[in-house]
Amino acid sequence: MACGFAHLYEKVLFQDNPNVNLRYQWYEHERQSRSIVLYVQSKFLTMKNQRYLLLVSLVLFYAQPSYAQSTTTQLQSWLRAPAGKRAPISAVKFSNKPLSKQEAASATSLLLEDAYRMLRVGLEKQWKNKAIISDNDTLRFEYKIFGEKPSQGRSLFISMHGGGNAAARVNDQQWKNQVGLYKPSEGVYLSPRAPTNTWNLWHESHIDTLFDKLIHAAILFENVNPDKVYIMGYSAGGDGVYQLAPRMADHWAAAAMMAGHPNETSPLGLRNLPFTIHVGALDNGFNRNEVARRWSVMLDSLAKEDPPGYKHLVQLHESRPHWMNREDTVAIDWMMQYQRNTTPNRVVWKQDDMHHSTFYWLATPVQAIKTGGEVVVSYKGNEVTIENNYADTLCIRLSDAMMDLDKPVTVNHNGKTIFKGKVKRTIGLLEKTIAERKDPKLVFCSELVFANGKVTTGE
């Protein structure tokens, strides 16, 4: 800005020709979508240079306040304030201004850095104490590190113990067993102790929040790759995998269920999550073996109907009862061949009784959630298709990793095109999705809202 003023003053003060015809154009440094063009033209031969200087100075003085700072600079100023003293992002004008692809990337980096800084403060002591806390629930854990750290970060294996519906000492022993049960070739092998001793100790409502914080902590303090987080469990821990894998599918790279049973859960949410089942062929407690066979048939059918989704491997280990004598350890290498995909081209979202308001690149308001409700949305290029939806409001989040947001986006529903137009990237949505998930791969800059049969851009 100072250089612009210096150049302008030089032209005005030292112009030899009194017939000045000055055209001054200033583009904000980091904005491609808008420019300020100021014209100062001379019409009177007798006008003196001092008058030009005064005119230009006044125009620039009054033009500059709303445009002098780029959106990125304004975001930096907003972030400098303590988190508790910041104005709500929705209340600041720059939050809804359209961004270029480059600006969105810069804003994402700034917002993630800020989010991780606050996470680090909140989780560092908990990680050191090996106890993640959420409200009145505490998740204790032990972990071991195997192999050399890959350049893109370590793998994380969350391994849930068996037991449940038993005295604390019984579940403590199960936890101790789980700590030494598996040895991956690489990664952080972490075994948590369930906060309760109930029969459903791994799929109560508090588990989702605790695991979310646990993953963040492992990323921050052990350099875990967020796309290489695996969930596994034995017996009651296997029950937890059946439940947590589909309802938190966008957290995991793959899942392995050992010797458990699913209760009421559905496999539909596993569309984009590789899933393996290992059960002893003689393990008839709670019909585990028969249930595993039924899930094998269901997953085969789903994979056939919706390729390339529902990758799976089901193994019933011959002559083995509930204890498979470590034959199930093959599941670890099977899982490690996969990494998480946060922007799959098709999402199947079946709402569990533990409600989630976001799933991959979809979201719905909390008040619109219904247990058992199903949403199916897909995209190809810049074309989005709503195949099935129960919610009165469905948010479709978009990013430059999914499609070319500089081109129009089309939305189809029930065989008709219900929207075609350009969407804008905004800091407001970037901040919102980072606040929701604090996940670098689940950040979205644009949003379409489907409600009452119509699509709006969510502005």
Asked if 303 contacts 330 with a C-beta cutoff of 8 angstroms, the reply is no
Q: What is the residue range of 428's domain?
A: 70-122+342-459
Question: Sorting pLDDT into bands at 50, 70 and 90, what band is 372?
Answer: very high
Strands (E) in 93-179, as ranges, are 131-134, 137-146, 154-160
Sign of the C-alpha dihedral computed for residues 349, 354, 355 and 358 taken in this order: negative
Q: Tell whether 156 and 92 lie within a shared domain.
A: no
Q: Tell whether 364 and 218 lie within a shared domain.
A: no
Q: What pLDDT does 42 receive?
A: 42
Q: Domain end: 63, 98, 113, which one?
A: 63
Residue that has been written with the tokens 């904000």 in this structure: 28
Q: Average pLDDT over the chain, rounded to whole?
A: 89
Give the pairing type, strands 383-388 and 21-26.
Answer: unpaired
Q: Tell whether 249 and 347 lie within a shared domain.
A: no
Residue 198 is part of a domain; what is its CATH number? 3.40.50.1820
Asked if 386 contacts 349 with a C-beta cutoff of 8 angstroms, the reply is no
In the 8-state DSSP scheme, what is residue 258? E
Q: Domain end: 309, 336, 363, which one?
A: 336
Q: How many domains does the chain have?
A: 3
Q: What pLDDT does 51 receive?
A: 56
CA–CA distance, 199 with 340 (Å, rounded to integer):
30
Q: Tell whether 58 and 138 lie within a shared domain.
A: no
For the segment 85-104, the average pLDDT, to the nearest whole number, is 95
Q: Tell whether 298 and 322 lie within a shared domain.
A: yes
Model confidence at 57: pLDDT above 80: no
Q: Domain end: 48, 63, 78, which one?
A: 63
Q: Tell whether 89 and 152 lie within a shared domain.
A: no
Q: What pLDDT does 49 receive?
A: 54
Asked if 249 contacts 213 with a C-beta cutoff of 8 angstroms, the reply is no
State what percent of residues in the chain have pLDDT above 90. Answer: 84
pLDDT tens track for 275-303: 999 999 999 999 999 999 999 999 999 99
Model confidence at 48: pLDDT above 80: no
Nearest to 274 by CA among 228, 310, 243, 328: 310
Q: Tell whether 117 and 187 lie within a shared domain.
A: no
- Region for residue 165 given its phi and psi (left: phi exceeds 0; alpha: psi -120 to 50; beta: otherwise): left
Q: Tell whether 364 and 255 lie within a shared domain.
A: no
Measured N-to-C along each axis, helices 236-247 and 205-222 cross at an angle, to the nearest 10 degrees, of 80
Q: Tell whether 263 and 363 lie within a shared domain.
A: no
CA 313, chain centre distance (Å): 26
Tokens standing for residue 445: 């800059």
Classified as helix, coil or strand, 397 is strand
Q: Tell whether 183 and 258 lie within a shared domain.
A: yes
Q: Tell whether 196 and 223 lie within a shared domain.
A: yes
Q: Tell whether 173 and 267 lie within a shared domain.
A: yes
> How many Cβ atoms sit within 10 Å of the Cβ of residue 287?
12
